[in-house]
Chain A
Amino acid sequence: MRKNALVIGTGVAIAAALVLGIVWLAFDSSSISVSAPPMADEPSGEPAMGIASENHGASREDARLEANAFNTPTGRAALAAHAERQRFEKALRDFLAGSETLPPAERARISAELDAQVEAEELAQRMSADEARMLRLALIERGSHDATERLRRSEALADAYRRESERRQRAFEQQQATDPAFVAYKAREAQIVAEVSAMRAIPGGISRDEYLRRRLQAERERAYAANPGG
C-alpha cells in the first residue's frame, strides 16, 4: 500500500515538473555552455569527428521534441526506472551500513526484501552473478542472529549459484558445438594449419605466423558471413 502511494506520488511529481518545464519553454534564457574536458594527450593530425548524439547545437525545435519525449510512456518509464534504481541502491547501502541498529525482526524483514530486489536486479542483468552473490551473502550475514542458520543458508546459496553456473556453461558448450559457423570454421582451421605448415615459401613477404593468422581470420570471416546467426 505504501509502495503504491509512493509510486503515485512520484508520478504526480514528475508530471508536475514536466508541465512546469514545458511552460518554461515559452521563455528565452541566457545560454549555457558546457565544454568537453580537454584531452591530456590530444592526438595530432586529423581532427576528431563530430559528436554523434550529444547535445551539439541543439535547436529550439529539438528541445521541444525532447520535452515531448520525456512526456511519453517511454520517457516516463526511463525516469521512473532511474529513480527506482537510485532508491534501491541507497536502501541497500543504508542497510548494509546500519543493520546492527535495527531490531532483529526488522533486520530479517528488510534483509528478505532486499534479497528479493537483488535477485530481481540480477535477473534483469543489472547486476553480475558475482556481485549479486556477494550481496546476498552479506544480506544473510546481516539478516540473522543464528550463526548455524547463516552458515546453512550461505552454503545453500553458494551451491545454487554453482549449479546454475555449471548449467549455463554446459548450455554454452552445447550451443557452440552445434553452431554452424563455429563448426564450419573449426573444420577448416586444422586443414589450413596443416597446409601453411607444409608451405615451402610464404607469399607477401610476411612471416609464416602472420600468414597463418591472416588465413584463419579470413576463414572466420567467411564462416560467419555464411552463417550470420552463428
Chain B
Amino acid sequence: MAYSNARRPVALAVVFGLAFAAPAAPALAEEGDYAAWQTALNLLFPPGPDNPVRASQKTGPYPLLPDPSSFNDGFNPGSYYTWQTIRTSPSTGAVCGNGSPYKFFVNRVPHTRNTIIYMEGGGACWDYASCTGQTGVRGARNPNGIPDDYMSLANPGASLVSPFVTRINPLDTAKTQNWNMVYIPYCTGDVYSGDRVATYADPSGQRPPLVWHHNGLRNTRAVVAWLKNNLPRPTQMLSTGCSAGGTGSLTGYATLRRDLAPTRGFLINDSGPIFPTPQFGDSAQFPSVRLHAQIRDVWGLDAGPLAFIKAAAPAFDLGDLGSIYPALSSRFPNDRMGHTHFWQDQNYSSYSYERFYPEIAGAPAAQKPALITAKWSQDTARLRASLDGLGNVGGYFPQFRALNESHCTTVVDFNNGDVQERRLELDDFIHSVLDGSGAVLDASEASDIADRAKPLNPLYALINLIL
C-alpha cells in the first residue's frame, strides 16, 4: 500500500502531540507493528480489511460465508482496546450447540496488524449426559450458548485466563499481549472440529431427545470470514488455546493459516493432544483409539471435516488423526509450532479414557488417577517421539503443577511448567516458538518429585478454591 506524502505533516504533528501526551507508550518494534504516525492515524481512521473473502472462497466445502451486508454484527472499527461482541448471522452457518446464535469477541489495537486467535477450552461431549451438562459427568462448556456480555463473566472454568489474552498480566509477559486479540468461545462440545446435528436420547426416557449442533468447524469458518472482511491481514499470527481450544487450534490451523495468510504463522497447542493412533489399532497399544472412534462417529468427522483438513494439509492421514502434526510440519515448513502438556494431566486424560474403559470407570476413585496416567503416559511417549522428529514442531512435556489437575500449562501463569533437570521454564518453550530460530525446543521431564515438593502457591490455592 502506498502512503500519501501529504499526510506526513499531520502524522508527525500527531506524533509530536502523543510524545507529550503518552510518554508511557511502549516501544513498538515487532514485525507487523505500525509506525507511530500510522498508529496515530489509525485512531481516527481505523485500517480496514486488505484480504477480504474472494468469490471462490464462498463456494465448495466449508465455504467462507460473510454476514449479509444488512446484518448488524455489532462491530465498531474504531473502538480500540475494547472487548467487542461480534454476532454472526444464521446464514454464515454458525450456531451454538443448543441452536442459539454464535458469537465471538475481538479486542483490537491501533498499533499493530499482528493477531492472536485464542480458542477457549472447555471439555467435550458426545452423548446425552455430557452434552446436557449432567452432574458427575465431564461435559462441555456453555451448553446454553454464549451471552453477549460473556467477557464480563468470570465463570469458574474461565477463571483460568491465559497470559496470552490479557493486556496486562501481573505474572507474565508475552508479545501477544500487545496484539489484536480474537477470543473464540466454545459452545459445541466438539473441539471446534465437528459438523453434525446429533440427536441424543435421554437414557432415562423421561425427557425428550437432545438435539445438539456439533458445529465447531462451521463456526470457525464464520470467524475466519469475518476476520478477512473486517480486519487487516495479520503479519504475525499465533493460533493457540488450551484443552479443547488447543485441539481446535491444531485441527483448524491448516485452513486458518491458508485463509488468513499471515506472513508468519505460529501455533501453540496447549494440552489438547491428538495422539498418533491408527483408526483400527489395538486399544492396548493405542489407548485413544476408542475416543477417536466415538468422536469420528458422533461429530461427523468422516463426512467432511477430515477431508477438509487433508485438502489443506495433504500429508494428513485420514486413518490416523495424530498424523496432523507431521502434516502441518510439512505443509508449513517455515511456521513455528509447539505442543505442550503435563505428564500428570488428570483432565484431558480423563476425557480420553475414563468412559471408554470399564476398568477405569468402575474403579474406586482413589485408583483412577493411576489407571488414567498409565494410558496417558503411553500415548504421551508416542507423541513425544513423533514430535522429536519434527524440526518446526516442538514438544514440551513438564510433569506436574498443583493447579487445575495439572491441566493446561499456559493458563493463569507460565510458571511451574518447568523442566528442572534441564533448567527450563515454560517461558523458554514459548519464546522458542514465537521468537526462536532453528529447530523449536523439545523437552520432557522424567520425574514429578521436584514439582510435588514445591511449597504451596497462595495464588493457585485461591484459584483452586474458586474452581
Instruction: Please give the residue numbers on chain A whose beta carbons come within 8 Å of chain B beta carbons, in ascending order.
Output: 9-10, 13-25, 27-43, 45-46, 48-49, 51-60, 62-63, 66-67, 69-70, 74-75, 78-80, 82-83, 85-87, 89-93, 96, 122, 124-131, 133-135, 137-138, 141, 154-155, 158, 161-162, 164-165, 168-169, 171-173, 176, 182, 185-186, 189-190, 193, 197, 207, 209-210, 212-213, 216-217, 220-221, 223-224
Q: Are A18 and B4 in touch, CB under 8 angstroms? A: no
Contact A48 to B6, CB < 8 A, known contacts A53-B46, A164-B154, A165-B153 = no
Q: Are A58 and B7 in touch, CB under 8 angstroms? A: yes
- Asked whether any CB of chain A lies closer than 8 Å to the CB of B431, the reply is no
Chain A proximity mask over B190-232: 1 for CB below 8 Å, otherwise 0:
0000011101000000001101010000000000000000001
Q: Are A14 and B20 in touch, CB under 8 angstroms? A: yes
Q: Are A217 and B9 in touch, CB under 8 angstroms? A: no
- Asked whether any CB of chain A lies closer than 8 Å to the CB of B1, the reply is yes
A residues less than 8 Å from B22 (CB atoms): 82-83, 86-87
Partner of A158, one of B91, B166, B232, B462: B462
Taking the closest CB of chain B, its distance from the CB of A70, in whole angstroms, is: 6
- Asked whether any CB of chain A lies closer than 8 Å to the CB of B47, the reply is yes
A residues less than 8 Å from B285 (CB atoms): none
B residues less than 8 Å from A54 (CB atoms): 1, 47-48, 50, 232
A residues less than 8 Å from B412 (CB atoms): 134
Cα A168 to Cα B158 in complex, Å, equals 14
B residues less than 8 Å from A42 (CB atoms): 261
B residues less than 8 Å from A79 (CB atoms): 14, 17-18, 21, 40, 43
B residues less than 8 Å from A92 (CB atoms): 168
Contact A193 to B10, CB < 8 A, known contacts A41-B258, A87-B24, A127-B167 = no
Partner of B49, one of A20, A45, A52: A52
A residues less than 8 Å from B156 (CB atoms): 162
Q: Which residue of chain A has the shortest Cβ distance to B170 in the bound complex?
A: A138
Contact A43 to B232, CB < 8 A, known contacts A162-B466, A224-B90 = no
Q: Which residue of chain A has the shortest Cβ distance to B101 in the bound complex?
A: A224
Q: Are A30 and B233 in touch, CB under 8 angstroms? A: no
Sampled A-B contacts (25; CB under 8 Å) = A16-B16, A17-B15, A17-B17, A18-B14, A21-B16, A29-B5, A32-B3, A52-B48, A55-B7, A58-B4, A59-B6, A63-B4, A66-B45, A125-B84, A128-B83, A128-B166, A131-B167, A133-B159, A155-B465, A161-B154, A162-B466, A172-B145, A176-B144, A223-B90, A224-B101
Q: Are A22 and B13 in touch, CB under 8 angstroms? A: yes
A residues less than 8 Å from B101 (CB atoms): 224
Contact A182 to B233, CB < 8 A, known contacts A29-B5, A40-B264 = no
Range of interface residues on chain B? 35 or more
Cα A58 to Cα B10 in complex, Å, equals 13
With contacts A125-B152, A131-B169, A182-B99 known, what are 4 further pairs, Cβ within 8 A? A55-B1, A80-B21, A130-B166, A161-B154
Instruction: Please give the residue numbers on chain B whose beta carbons come within 8 Å of chain A beta carbons, in ascending order.
Output: 1-26, 31-32, 35, 38, 40-41, 43-52, 54-56, 77-78, 80-84, 89-91, 93, 95, 99-101, 110, 113, 144-145, 147-149, 151-156, 158-159, 161, 165-171, 183, 195-197, 199, 208-209, 211, 213, 232-233, 235, 257-258, 261-265, 300, 303, 334, 412, 459, 462, 465-466
Cα A53 to Cα B100 in complex, Å, equals 33
Q: Are B50 and A36 in touch, CB under 8 angstroms? A: yes
Give the 6 A-B residue pairs with the shortest CB-CB distance, closest first: A21-B13, A90-B24, A13-B20, A52-B48, A24-B9, A138-B170
Q: Are A130 and B16 in touch, CB under 8 angstroms? A: no
Q: Are B44 and A70 in touch, CB under 8 angstroms? A: yes
B residues less than 8 Å from A190 (CB atoms): 208, 211
Cα A20 to Cα B43 in complex, Å, equals 19
Partner of A34, one of B1, B14, B99: B1
Q: Which residue of chain A has the shortest Cβ distance to B257 in the bound complex?
A: A41
Taking the closest CB of chain A, its distance from the CB of B334, in whole angstroms, is: 7
Taking the closest CB of chain B, its distance from the CB of A164, in whole angstroms, is: 7
Partner of B159, one of A9, A70, A130, A138: A130
Q: Are A21 and B12 in touch, CB under 8 angstroms? A: yes
Q: Are B144 and A173 in touch, CB under 8 angstroms? A: yes
Q: Are A62 and B167 in touch, CB under 8 angstroms? A: no
Cα A9 to Cα B257 in complex, Å, equals 46
Taking the closest CB of chain B, its distance from the CB of A93, in whole angstroms, is: 6
Q: Are B6 and A60 in touch, CB under 8 angstroms? A: yes
Taking the closest CB of chain B, its distance from the CB of A46, in whole angstroms, is: 5
A residues less than 8 Å from B155 (CB atoms): 165, 169
B residues less than 8 Å from A128 (CB atoms): 83, 151-152, 161, 165-166, 183
B residues less than 8 Å from A57 (CB atoms): 2, 4
B residues less than 8 Å from A86 (CB atoms): 22, 24-26
Taking the closest CB of chain A, its distance from the CB of B130, in whole angstroms, is: 19
B residues less than 8 Å from A124 (CB atoms): 82
Partner of B110, one of A20, A24, A82, A158: A82
A residues less than 8 Å from B81 (CB atoms): 85, 126
Partner of B5, one of A9, A30, A129: A30
